[in-house]
Amino acid sequence: MSSLFTDRFCLWLGALLYLAGFASGCLALIRKSQTGGGRTILNTLLAGGFFFQVTGLYIRGMATGGCPLGNPFELFQFVAWSAMVLYFVVGPAFRVSLLGLFTAGYAAGLALLSLLIPEWDAVRGQKIFGNNPWIELHAALAVFSYGVFGILALTSFMHLLQNWSLKNKRLDGLFWFLPSVVQLDQINRRLLLAGVTLLTIALGVGARYWVTAPDSVNVAKLLITVGVWFTYLLVLVLRWRGRLVSTRFTWTCIVLFLAAMMSLGPVNANRHRPSIPLVH
């Protein structure tokens, strides 16, 4: 029994509960019911999924002796976990209708994708943080900021849906329950600011280590990471100055997040530490 209770088993359970939460949310939506009962079922399933995901990541972290960010599988799991943390911590403050449903689908998608591609978890970097807690903090913060950008992409997607429904005068079904355009725009701005702040701190921490040992960081990884940070910063400035608004802003947030996620692979591959195969 104990051998069955592995990190991947827990992560599978977590992902399936997220999927069940998404399915229950969709069902409630089809029944046109956003009642407390529907939300309670969704949140219970997400809390269960979160518990198993945390347990899986904890087991993995204990086995690897650090934050589990050593391969694409772990990175995707961590991004999904970050999104769920944000949903539970800041979600109630935002009070965004349907955010739980969208987060459930998003977290289930990321977690299942990572689990269904065995190659992503075949090898992982060996002592990738070199026993340096600052580097570990840098990596954790950077990936957590990707979680924030993930939620930003979700709320941007909701904004696009709401805009489409209002422009095309289609207000039934799912569209009825979407938050207002202004509310979504305010949340998007706050999430963008939070994500850029976290990524800036992460890069600041990384830079402190990098200046003492410039050769320790691969140039490609450095360029990609700084590129992602700079692009998000640019989007933030343009939004604040009213130069990038409405659907152009939301499309940018979605495309930028997809690009950032795709950059995780090259960033991970360009770590200079040797990789070791994993035995499950």
Partner 1 sequence: METPAPALFLLGASHHTAPLAVREKLSLDAARVTALAERLRQVSGVREFALLNTCNRVEIYGVAAETGVLTGLRRALGDITGCTPEEIDAVCRQQHNHEAIAHLFEVAAGLDSQIVGEAEILGQVKDAYAAAQEHRWTGPVLNRVFQKTFQAAKHIRSSTAIGQGQISVASVAVDLAGKIFGDLAPTRVLVVGAGDIGLKTVQAFQSRGAGSITVASRTLAKAEEAAAVAGGWAASMAELPEVLATADIVASSTSSPGLIITRDLTTTAMKHRPGRPLFLIDLALPRDIEPTAATLPNVYLYNLDDLARIAEDNLAHRQAEVAKCRAILAERTAALWPQIAPYLSAGSNGRDPV
| Distance, CA of 166 to CA of 182 (rounded, Å) | 13
**Cβ neighbours, 10 Å, residue 242:** 7
Stretch in the footprint of partner 1 (CB under 8 A) among 29-37, 133-141, 206-214, 268-276: 29-37
- Using the rule CB under 8 A, is 33 a contact of partner 1? yes
Work out whether strand 275-277 and strand 123-125 pair parallel, antiparallel, or are unpaired: antiparallel
For partner 1, which is the closer residue by CB, 138 or 239? Answer: 239
Q: Which helix (H) or strand (E) holds 243?
A: none
Q: Give the x-and-dash track for 243-262 against partner 1 (CB under 8 A).
A: x-xxxx--------------
Q: The tokens of 43 are what? A: 């949140």
Q: Please report how close the Cβ of residue 165 comes to partner 1 at its closest, in angstroms.
A: 8
Residue of 278, 229, 279 lying closest to 72 (CA atoms): 278
212 binds partner 1 (CB under 8 A): no
Strand intervals (E) in 27-171 = 123-125
Q: Does 35 help bind partner 1 (rule: CB under 8 A)?
A: yes
Q: CA torsion, points 160, 257, 105, 246, in degrees to nearest 10?
A: -10
Please give the angle made by the CA atoms of 53, 7 and 2, to the nearest 5 degrees.
120
Segment contacting partner 1 by CB under 8 A, of 3-11, 45-53, 143-151, 159-167:
159-167
**CA gap 51, 10 in Å, rounded:** 9
The residue type at 86: L
Q: Single out the residue of 5, 30, 32, 58 in contact with partner 1 (rule: CB under 8 A).
A: 32
Q: Judged by CB under 8 A, how many residues of this single chain contact partner 1? A: 25
Quick count: other Cβ atoms within 10 Å of Cβ 127?
Answer: 14
Q: Which is nearer to partner 1, 117 or 171 (CB)?
A: 171
Q: Is residue 208 close enough to count as binding partner 1 by CB under 8 A?
A: no
By the 8 A CB rule, do 162 and 178 touch? Answer: yes
Q: From the CB of 172, what's the least distance to partner 1, in Å?
A: 7
Q: Which is nearer to partner 1, 30 or 63 (CB)?
A: 30
Restricted to residues 175-194, the positions that interact with partner 1 (CB under 8 A) are 176, 178-183, 185
Q: Which is nearer to partner 1, 119 or 172 (CB)?
A: 172
CA distances from 156 to 34, 137, 181, 262 (A): 21, 28, 10, 19
Sole window of 14-22, 113-121, 169-177, 264-272 interacting with partner 1 (rule: CB under 8 A): 169-177
Chain residues that interact with partner 1, rule: CB under 8 A: 32-33, 35, 162, 165-167, 169, 171-172, 176, 178-183, 185, 239, 242-243, 245-248
